[in-house]
Structure 1
Amino acid sequence: MWNGKTISLVLPTYREKDSIRRVLEEFIATSLLDEVIVVDNNAEAGTREEIQKVKGNSLITVIHEKRQGYGYALQTGLLAAKGDWVVSIEPDGTYSARDLKRFFVFGEDFQVVLGSRTITKTKNKDWGFWRREVNILYGLLIHLLFHASVMTETGCTYKLLHRDVIRRLAPQWRETSSYFATELLLLVVANGINFVEVPVTFRERIGPSTVVTGNLRLFKLGWVGLRQIMSEWFHWLGRRTPSR
């Protein structure tokens, strides 16, 4: 709990067996969480056993989302969360519980708090030059197209959302894969929801990534991300243009 606000932590999991226990224990040890929801998205064998070993696992609820896809899993977790404020992360060891209070401080004044890995310099083999620069470029593009607050990246999955924001945006969700992370951000901007970015620690992932692997995959992610931005922008323009 933070200043009378109950806090839920949501973690979709697929291939994080080797890291999920450590991540859960790190965040639970802050004593700031009222609820932890792990969404088992057909996770690899042994994941549930690792969760059961977690100290303080009485806070944890495991939900099985059979429909494969990061979007499906995160949406299920967000909608199941009962906290006033809902924090989402990935259980791969990349994010730090030490940053939680920073989200909460800004959560007092903003409905959405977005983590950013580009505000400070990060040494991480998974955070290559092009991946970083494309994130910065797309953040700038969203800022310019939507006349939004300054945005320094689009791919960070460490976020805080007020529960009423989740309820408001849920009917507009369309994406069910890993691209849901960008869609969620775009919907926040397009709906005029006030947000702010905060710098986050970005550590090296434990285990292989199922999303960012190789230059061809990075190019595809970048291309789909650009299409998402432009598509949402055209929808946004259509809603703003008065009918004759």
Structure 2
Amino acid sequence: MEQCPVLSVVVPVHNEQANIAPLIDEILAALRGRLAFEIVYVDDASHDGTLAELRRLQRRTPELRVLAHQTQSGQSTAIRNGVKAARAAWVVTLDGDGQNDPADIPRLLDARANAPAEVKLFAGWRVQRRDSLGKRLGSRIANAVRRRLLRDDTPDTGCGIKLFEREAFIDLPYFDHMHRYLPALMQRAGWKTVSVPVNHRPRTAGRSNYTNLGRLWVGLADLRGVGWLIRRSRRTVVREYPAAEEASP
């Protein structure tokens, strides 16, 4: 009988053929023998050999599941579809470019084991960025603006490695690029979040699907939208009363 996973590793990819096998091998090395897990790759309509490589690796990796978008829909949609398909109660996400280190997954799990139940998100914090100077400066500015406007007390929301409760994620409002605002959205829902220092590595194959300018314009519009959601949020504690017991004769 197949064992139900206690952790789902969700990896969105677009044109990352050369990075698939090395990253899967690192995930297996980090988690096999530690807990029951599954790996859910979501191919966002790649036009290289990404999907064929995933299908090839499925034959020798029983933990691997493969989902494929029929039309390109973006990283947030890929993450959301992967989380919806996940069978575990907790999910960890990784970027498919290999810059996140799967060896950090146990560190996030240890942080969860020592945290109170109201913490539903453990966000990776790339203390030592391994990107170009332009990308580092762009991220630094974007993070400063976001923290000032959203007050989410998170130093790095752009890090792809995150651990969160599946149910809490599914309950969040969905929109394109939402994956960059998960701490603020979790806090809006009434949950706490924690940032955990993690490793960051240079890209060794392929090229980035984003540009600093493109992220800037999209980010400004998103910030306004997320700020509106936070201002409009209403939370209350709900108590359900059991049916009254009949009086004893």
TM-score by length of 1: 0.81
Q: Deviation at 1:168?
A: 1.7
Partner of 2:241: none
SS in 2 for 1:237: helix
Q: Which amino acid in 2 is paired with 1:62?
A: V
Distance 1:189 1:19 in 2: 33
CA separation of 1:234 and 1:167: change in aligned 2, threshold 3 A: closer
CA separation of 1:107 and 1:73: change in aligned 2, threshold 3 A: same
Q: Which amino acid in 1 is paired with 2:67?
A: I
Match of 1:140 among 131, 147, 159: 147
Which 4+ residue blocks in structure 1 deviate beyond 6 angstroms?
none
Distance 1:129 1:183 in 2: 18
For the Cα contact (< 8 Å) 1:41–1:65, is it kept in 2? yes
Match of 2:75 among 57, 70, 75: 70
CA separation of 1:44 and 1:165: change in aligned 2, threshold 3 A: same
Distance 1:54 1:37 in 2: 11
Distance 2:84 2:27 in 1: 21
Distance 1:183 1:133 in 2: 15
CA separation of 1:240 and 1:7: change in aligned 2, threshold 3 A: closer
Q: Percent identity?
A: 24
Match of 1:180 among 178, 181, 199: 178
Q: Which amino acid in 1 is paired with 2:78?
A: A
Q: Which amino acid in 2 is paired with 1:151?
A: T
Partner of 2:43: 40
For the aligned residue pairs, the C-alpha RMSD in angstroms reads 2.5
Partner of 2:61: 57
Question: Which digits, 9 at most, give the CA deviation of each residue in 1:17-37, with x for residues without a partner?
Answer: 011110011111221451111
Which region of structure 1 is more displaced relative to structure 2, 102-111 or 130-139?
A: 130-139
Partner of 1:193: 191
Q: Which amino acid in 2 is paired with 1:209?
A: S
Partner of 1:112: 121
Unaligned ranges ≥5, structure 2: 236-249
Partner of 2:238: none
Q: Deviation at 1:105?
A: 1.3
Partner of 1:79: 84
Match of 1:230 among 212, 224, 228: 224
Partner of 2:29: 29
Number of positions where the alignment pairs a residue of Structure 1 with one of Structure 2: 222
CA separation of 1:167 and 1:38: change in aligned 2, threshold 3 A: same
Q: Deviation at 1:49?
A: 3.5
Partner of 2:209: 210
Match of 2:131 among 124, 127, 148: 124
TM-score by length of 2: 0.79
CA separation of 1:105 and 1:49: change in aligned 2, threshold 3 A: same
Q: Deviation at 1:185?
A: 3.7
Unaligned ranges ≥5, structure 1: 213-217
Match of 1:167 among 156, 166, 170: 170
Question: Which digits, 9 at most, give the CA deviation of each residue in 1:203-226, with x for residues without a partner?
Answer: 1112111113xxxxx133123323
Q: Which amino acid in 2 is paired with 1:152?
A: P
Q: Deviation at 1:5?
A: 7.7
Q: Which amino acid in 2 is paired with 1:197?
A: S
Q: Which amino acid in 1 is paired with 2:77?
A: Y
For the Cα contact (< 8 Å) 1:65–1:72, is it kept in 2? no
- Higher-Rg structure is 2
Q: Deviation at 1:38?
A: 0.8
